[in-house]
Structure 1
Amino acid sequence: MSLHDDAVLVLKGYDTDREDQSELRRTYLDHLAGHPDGMWKACGAGHLTASALVVDPERGRVLLTLHRKLQMWLQMGGHCEPQDSTLASAAMREATEESGIAGLTLLPGGPVRLDRHPIPAPCHWHLDVQYAATAPAGATEQISEESLDLRWFPYDEVAGVADASVVRLVEGTRARLEQGR
């Protein structure tokens, strides 16, 4: 199965009762149907990306990266690569590379959220599929070349440093964690 096929299956299985997320899911599926290259950075109409919010639920905090190019606090994530066999593996690869933490575990249930945001030309959109991953006990982060900084934030401090998309991802992740208890 190709990464494109996996993305279609993941999106078709993405369960949401929120209207905005249902509309985004349809937008993503329409994009993939119209763009066989819609998984890759080279797709000029935009492309899917994969990200993961690294969370330490025992201590009530999330790890955010100060993105070097955007100079914003964000979850770990980025472009899909040819070696990625699934969206989930792309999100895990990005989270591991950018956090420096080995042994991350994706929360069950697939993506937590979808987020579509504009990017500069020649591409025009990132269609981000957002997962969440728990860090193992005693994990030590390691800053990557893509980051200016890497820092743990208590849940209630995220709104003071990050944009609304990250806040919504934290809220969705916390709700998913509560469901699992």
Structure 2
Amino acid sequence: MHRLTSVAVAVFSATWLLTGCGDENRPANQAALAQQALPSAIADPPNKVDLPHYQARNPHFDVMTKDGNIVVRSDDHGWNGHTIDIYYAPSEAVMIHDGDYVLRDTTHLQRIASVPLKGNQTWVAVWNVKGHTLPREFYLLAKTNVGQANIEHVLWMNQRYIEGGAESRVQ
């Protein structure tokens, strides 16, 4: 009987712990995301961004640090539309699913730049962070005005920000 009680307690404990891992813990996740909002001096307020449910592979973009600014750019010629909006996403808002970055939440994205596509379908955005300290790890989402989008993982490495990780379609 004692062994059965121990098993029941273990199963109950595991069930209770796992319950907090899913959507049931969403308010806590939402609070964590809200706490990671960037200051209004360097980003728009958190906002919901509408994205198509499925995206084909979209062009890649690069992230680098130059003169204290973060430069986000793409030399790929596959971008469509007229403008690109760049959004900051806290690392908790993104997960990896089958090797692709997937947004867990689209309601806490903050626009950091909006730039026109050049005639050859490339673009460059410069994000002046005005000396603010950013997280060591976060994501950037680039989205065109026609819904084409891609996410890149951004890491602090060797005293600068760079993109790192897999290229990904947005889901």
Which structure features the higher share of strand residues? 2
Q: Work out whether the TM-score is over 0.5.
A: no
TM-score, scaled to structure 1: 0.27
More helix by share: 1
Instruction: Give TM-score, length-normalised by structure 2.
Output: 0.28
Bigger-Rg structure (1/2): 2
